[in-house]
Each structure stands twice: as C-alpha cells, then as structure tokens.
Amino acid sequence: MQAEEIAGLIDEMALALRSRLETNRITAPVMIGIHTGGVWLAEQLHHKLAIQEPLGTLDISFYRDDFTRIGMNPEVKPSQIPFSVEDQHIILVDDVLHTGRTIRAAMNEIFDYGRPASILLVTLVERSGRELPIQPSVVGARPPLKLDETITLTGPEPLGLVIGKSKKQARSNDTD
C-alpha cells in the first residue's frame, strides 16, 4: 500500500475518530502515539483533529511481557507525556494491532502516569492473531494476511505498508 492510499485511510480514520469523540461527548482528548509507527500515524491524526495538548509518545520496550523471547529493541526512545493523564480521555495510537501485547504494555505504562478517564485505541491496521482481548475503536484497514505474514508501516515520509514473511517462517524456510 502506497502513501496516497495510506493518506486516504488516515483521512477516513480522522473522520471516524471525530464521530466517535462526538458520540462519547469527548471535547478535549489527548493523544499518545506508540513508537515508532504509532507516533508517525499519531502526528497526522493529531494535526487533522486539531488537538490542543501536545502529542505524547511512548516507548513500551520495558513494559513488554515477551522481551525475553523477542529481545529488547536496540534503539529505546524515551517516553514523553507532556500532560497529566489523570482523568483525561486518551486516544492511544499504534500502527499495527496483532497480538495485543504492545497495547497491553502501553496501557500499563500509561497507568504508571495516572488514571485516565478513558482510552480509545486507534490503529492503522488490524490483523488476526490476537492473544489478548484488546479491540480497537477505530481501524484504517483489515487486510487478509496469512499466519506467516507480517505487515509493517514504513516511513516517516512517505508512509507505506509492506507485507513480508515472519522472521520465524523465513528462518525455517532457510533451513529447508
């Protein structure tokens, strides 16, 4: 998927998100993007929705429950939440929702900052393979992917989506 198609998805997501906020009578939300692709997406949505508070960012590397299996991200970035999360309506943004573990880790980190009034999850891509009962409020696309396929947001300029084979599958194919 190329930049023009992604821009169209982001426009649709902004409209759906605006509608969801109006339905829930949320007038002053804050937004947090999850590094790295979630921040790229959040920057665009933050601008389109004209959110007043600055954009917050999270690096959930130390909050993951599976880092002993997948390893630490070699480039840990600091989390920056330039506002109080206490009683805030938070829009949490990530690029791809797969197992739900990244979102669980992000919520754990957010709750270390305080108790939000609510959290709306927004993802560019939702795919199958959920391991935790986490559902997005707004989704850009739900592409049909095979279990051995991955989808990655590339960017930041221009944004693109790349489908590939999982590393585990690629390693097993290398030994065949």
Tell me if residue 176 falls in helix, strand or coil: coil
- The pTM assigned to this predicted structure is 0.89
If one compares 1 and 133, the residue with the highest pLDDT of the two is 133
Domain 3-144 has CATH 3.40.50.2020: yes
Q: Determine the pLDDT at residue 17.
A: 98
Domain locations in the chain?
3-144
Cα separation, 31 vs 49, whole angstroms = 10
Which helix (H) or strand (E) is 70 found in, with range?
helix 67-70
Residue 68: pLDDT band (50, 70, 90) is low
How many CA atoms lie within 13 Å of 50's alpha carbon, on the beta-carbon side? 1
Mean pLDDT over residues 139-162, rounded?
Answer: 89
pLDDT-derived band at 3 (thresholds 50, 70, 90) equals confident
The pLDDT confidence band at residue 32, using thresholds 50, 70 and 90, is very high
Distance, in Å, from the CA atom of 34 to the CA atom of 57, rounded to the nearest integer, reads: 6
Q: What is the mean pLDDT of the chain?
A: 88
Spatial separation of the C-alpha atoms in residues 94 and 162, rounded to whole Å: 16
Lowest mean pLDDT among 63-72, 101-110, 143-152: 63-72
